[in-house]
Amino acid sequence: MEYHIKVPEFSTSPKIDGKLENPIWLEGAVLESFTQYEPQEGVLPSEKTVAYVGFDKKNLYIAVQCFDSSPNAIRASLSQRDKVYGDDEVTIYIDTFNDKKRAFVFQVNPHGVQSDGIYSESQRQHRGGGFERVDKNWDTFFLSGGHIDENGYTIELAIPFKSLRFPNSRPQTWGFQIQRKIRRKNEEIYWYPRSRDVNGFLIQTGILQVDGIIEKGKNFEIMPVITGRKEPQEKFNPEPALNLKYGITSNLSADITFNPDFSQIEADMPQIDVNQRYALRYPEKRPFFLEGKDFFDTPMELVYTRKIVDPQLGIKLSGKVGKTTVGFLSAYDENSTEIELSSEDFSEDSSEDFSGRRAFINIFRLKQDLYPESHIGLIFTDKEMGNSLNGTQQDYNRVAGIDGHFKIKSYNRFTFQIIGSQTKLGDKKTSLAPAAKLNFSHASRHISFSADYTRIPEEFEASTGFFRRKDIQSFNTRIGYTFLPQNQWVISVRPSLEYKRIYDFNNTLTDEEYELSCFISGWRQSYLGWGFSSEMERYNGINFHKNSFRMHFGSEPFSWLSANLSLSFGDGIYYDENPYLGYKTSVGFRLTIKPLTNFRLFYNFNNNEFSESKGGERVYSINIISQRISYQISRTLSLRLITDYNDYYKKLYNSILLSYELRPGTVFYLGVDDNQEKDDSGIFRGEGRYYFIKFSYWWRI
Give the count of domains, the chain.
Answer: 2
**Residue 630 three-state SS:** strand
Three state DSSP letters for 189-257:
EECCCCCCCCCCCCCCCEEEEECCCCCCCCCEEEEEEEEEEECCCCCCEEEEEEEEEEEEECCEEEEEE
Q: Are the C-beta atoms of residues 676 and 656 closer than 8 Å to each other?
A: no
Cβ contacts of residue 157 below 8 Å, gap of 6+?
16, 60, 61, 62, 63, 92, 106, 108, 142, 143, 144
What's the whole-number mean pLDDT along residues 42-49?
95
188/288 same-domain check: no
Residue 209 confidence (pLDDT) above 60:
yes
Whether the CB-CB separation of 192 and 205 falls below 8 Å is answered with yes
Tell me: do 339 and 438 sit in the same domain.
Answer: yes
Confidence class for position 387, pLDDT limits 50, 70, 90: confident
Separation between Cα atoms, residue 332 and residue 344, nearest integer Å: 30
Q: Is residue 643 part of a domain?
A: no
Q: Tell me the C-alpha distance between 386 and 335, whole Å.
A: 10
pLDDT of residue 218: 59
619-672 per-position pLDDT tens digit: 999 999 999 999 999 989 999 999 999 999 999 999 999 999 988 889 999 999
Q: How many CB atoms lie within 10 A of CB 486?
A: 18
Q: Please check whether residues 302 and 206 belong to one and the same domain.
A: no
Q: Among candidates 481, 487, 483, which has minimal Cα distance to 40?
A: 487
Boundary of a domain, candidates 419, 441, 467? 467
Q: Which of 162, 182, 210 is the last residue of a domain?
A: 210
> At residue 353, does pLDDT exceed 70?
no
Is residue 375 included in any domain, yes or no? yes
Least confident range of 46-60, 330-344, 371-385: 330-344
Reported as a pLDDT band with limits 50, 70 and 90, residue 285 is: confident
In a domain, 623, yes or no: no
- For residues 57 and 167, state if they share a domain: yes
> Rounded distance, CA 532 to CA 551, Å?
9
What is the predicted pLDDT for the residue at 43?
94
pLDDT (tens digit, 9 = 90+) per residue, 120-161?
Answer: 886 554 333 344 578 787 888 999 999 999 999 999 999 999
- Residues in the chain, how many? 701
Q: Does 111 fall in a domain?
A: yes
Banded pLDDT at 342 (limits 50, 70, 90): low
Does 349 score more than 70 pLDDT?
no
Res. 348: pLDDT tops 80: no
In sequence order, which residues have a C-beta less than 8 Å from that of residue 283 and are 6 or more positions away? Answer: 268
Asked whether the predicted pLDDT for residue 273 surpasses 80, the reply is no
pLDDT reading at 497 higher than 90: yes
Q: What pLDDT is stored for residue 388 in this prediction? A: 65
Do the bridges between strand 89-95 and strand 324-336 make them parallel or antiparallel, or are there none, so unpaired? Answer: unpaired
Give the pLDDT confidence score for residue 111 in this predicted structure.
94
Pick from 106, 152, 99, 688: nearest CA to 407: 99
pLDDT in tens, 573-622: 999 889 999 999 999 999 999 999 999 999 999 999 999 999 899 999 99
Confidence (pLDDT) at 350: 41
Residues 319 and 420 in one domain: yes
What is the residue range of 68's domain? Answer: 4-210
Report whether 242 contacts 542 (CB < 8 A).
no
Residue 241 lies in a domain: no
Instruction: For residues 112 and 130, give the distance between their C-alpha atoms in angstroms, rounded to a whole number.
Output: 19
Q: How many Å apart are CA 571 and CA 613, to the nearest integer?
A: 8
Asked if 462 and 430 count as a contact pair (C-beta separation under 8 A), the reply is no
Do 292 and 186 belong to one domain? Answer: no
Based on the domain organization, do 305 and 385 belong to the same domain?
Answer: yes
Using a cut of 0.85, tell me whether the model's pTM lies above it. yes
Burial of 659 (0-12, 13-18, 19+ CB in 10 A): buried
Q: Which of 210, 231, 265 is the last residue of a domain?
A: 210
Q: How far is CA 588 from CA 211, 334, 519, 643, in A?
A: 54, 39, 18, 17
* pLDDT score for 485: 93
- Specify whether 308 is located in the same domain as 409: yes
**Inside any domain, residue 378:** yes
Task: Please tell me the predicted confidence (pLDDT) of residue 628.
Answer: 94
State what percent of residues in the chain have pLDDT above 90: 65
Mean pLDDT, the chain, rounded, equals 89
Is 662 a domain residue?
no
- Predicted local distance difference test score (pLDDT) of residue 94: 97
Beta-carbon contacts of residue 355 (< 8 Å; ≥ 6 apart): 337, 338
CATH at 191:
2.60.40.1190
Residue 139 is given by DSSP the state -
Torsion sign (Cα): 212, 217, 218, 223: positive
Least confident residue range of 130-134, 219-223, 436-440 = 130-134
Q: Which H helix or E strand runs over 542?
A: strand 542-558
- 448 and 299 within one domain: yes
Question: What is the average per-residue pLDDT within 530-548?
Answer: 95
Residue 568 lies in a domain: no
Residue 15 is classified by DSSP as P
Residues 187 and 302 occupy one common structural domain: no
The letter for the amino acid at 632 is Q
pLDDT of residue 327: 93
